[in-house]
Amino acid sequence: MSDPCFLGIDVGSISTNLVAIAPGGEVLCELYRRGDGHPIDSVQACLAQLQEEAPGLAVRGVCTTGSGRMLAGAVVGADVVKNEISAHARATLHLHPDVRTIFEIGGQDSKVTVVRDGAVVDFSMNLVCAAGTGSFLDSQARRLNITIEELSAGAMLSQNPTTIAGRCTVFAESDMIHKQQVGHAQPDILMGLCHALVRNYLANVCAGKELKSPIVFQGGVSANQGICRAFRESLGCDIIVPRHHMVMGAYGAALIASRTGVKNTRYRGEKAATHKVVTKGFTCADCPNHCEIIEIRDGEEVIGRTGGRCGKWDGNGGGPRPQVDPVPDLLEMGVPEP
């Protein structure tokens, strides 16, 4: 007897997360896996782990999200591919229907989502700088030779946090080194770092947004107690860290998969976890855009393509692709040999 379930997979820059839910929305299994830069392997490892931890699930629908959603979608055979902003908001609204502001800080992205009356009305993402995201904390922890968990616990011990420049990671780092050399205690420096990150986030990502409570804080960085404390102190109000806060993107994706009414899932089943999937890149020369197309293959079978900007290389996996005439090549330049 197999239980029906829906999968949500969130392939982010730092972690790959998977959540399996029952049709009613209860979480059956949640996996958080720090990635090592191999998104395909991470997704497959997650699927294998799901088999071990919760055997006998019958997958009825899959939704992928995160910056690697197209690739992951091809590997597992997703029914829906959804952007992470909508996925996160869906999960938060499911757990906290009265939420009005969502903070989400991940590995390389930080976002704020403004919710009114149960609907997303505005959002904003960090632009071109990773200061104020998880990778900033990661690199500082590495420099101090402590784990990210120790950074979190250490910051909570601070009685008198010092001020660290938060504009840019490079300046923050030199500021921290100076404070160390002047003799500040490590917990005070760590808490100062958390304050700097939060200050940067509130000043840049949240610029011009009306932050109304209840505020829900999620994403990988929400596991950091120091950051939560810094948010509470800066905003002067409580913030909610939800259950499943580390995997909210995947949870939202699973909820989306369960709500779209998929009849026959495109999930590739056993094949998704075990078959070796390879990718091959080439440059399309049909127009001056010179898109870098990535072809995703399972053996001889093409299961998906990403990277095209005109629809020519879209199409469902290896199915027939729409014929798109090239735009006039005024230059007749062709493409340089790779």
Partner 1 sequence: MTQIAIPNIGNYTVALATAVESLGIKPWASTATTPEALKLGTEAAPESVCLPLKAHLGHFIAADRAGVEYALMVNSVGTCRLRYYRHMIEQILKDLGLKIRIFGLGFDGFKPPLVRHFDPGPITFLKPLFHAGEQIRAIDEMETLAWKTRPIELAHGETTRVMNKLLLELSRCRTLAESRAVRRTTASRFATIAVDRSKKPLKVGLVGEVSFLRDKCLNKNIEYLLGDQGIEVKNFFSLGEELRNIARIVLLNKNRGRELLDIADRYLQTTVGGHALDSVAHSIRCAELGYDGMVHLAPCGCMPEVGVRPILKRVSQDKDIPILELSFDEHTCDVGITTRLEAFADVLRERRRKRAAVGVS
Question: CA-to-CA distance for 137 and 219, rounded, in angstroms?
Answer: 14
121 sits near partner 1 (criterion: CB under 8 A): yes
320 sits near partner 1 (criterion: CB under 8 A): no
Q: Which of 43, 45, 63, 85 binds partner 1 (CB under 8 A)?
A: 85
Question: CA-to-CA distance for 218 and 336, rounded, in angstroms?
Answer: 45
Please count the CA atoms within 13 angstroms of the CA of 77 that sit on its side-chain side: 20
β-pairing, 215-218 with 239-240? Answer: parallel
Contact 134, 200 (CB under 8 A): no
Question: CA-to-CA distance for 128 and 231, rounded, in angstroms?
Answer: 23
86 sits near partner 1 (criterion: CB under 8 A): yes
Site for partner 1 in 34-53 (CB under 8 A): none
Site for partner 1 in 265-294 (CB under 8 A): 287-290, 292
233 sits near partner 1 (criterion: CB under 8 A): no
Q: Which is nearer to partner 1, 183 or 338 (CB)?
A: 338
For the CB of residue 210, give the shortest distance to partner 1 in the complex, in Å: 9
314 sits near partner 1 (criterion: CB under 8 A): yes
180 sits near partner 1 (criterion: CB under 8 A): no
Question: CA-to-CA distance for 68 and 297, rounded, in angstroms?
Answer: 16
Q: Which is nearer to partner 1, 55 or 334 (CB)?
A: 334
Q: Which of 22, 153, 168, 310 binds partner 1 (CB under 8 A)?
A: 310
Q: Which is nearer to partner 1, 48 or 327 (CB)?
A: 327
The token duo for 173 is 């780092």
The token duo for 15 is 């972690």
Contact 35, 10 (CB under 8 A): no
Question: CA-to-CA distance for 46 and 53, rounded, in angstroms?
Answer: 10
Contact 75, 44 (CB under 8 A): yes
Choices 56-64, 138-146, 198-206, 321-329; region in contact with partner 1 by CB under 8 A: 321-329
Q: Which is nearer to partner 1, 185 or 206 (CB)?
A: 206
326 sits near partner 1 (criterion: CB under 8 A): yes
Question: CA-to-CA distance for 65 and 62, rounded, in angstroms?
Answer: 10
120 sits near partner 1 (criterion: CB under 8 A): yes
Q: Which of 67, 133, 140, 200 binds partner 1 (CB under 8 A)?
A: 67
325 sits near partner 1 (criterion: CB under 8 A): yes
128 sits near partner 1 (criterion: CB under 8 A): yes
Q: Which of 51, 91, 65 is nearest to 255 (CA)?
A: 91
Question: CA-to-CA distance for 66 and 189, rounded, in angstroms?
Answer: 32
Chain residues that interact with partner 1, rule: CB under 8 A: 67, 82-86, 117, 119-123, 125, 127-128, 208, 287-290, 292, 309-312, 314-315, 322-331, 333, 336
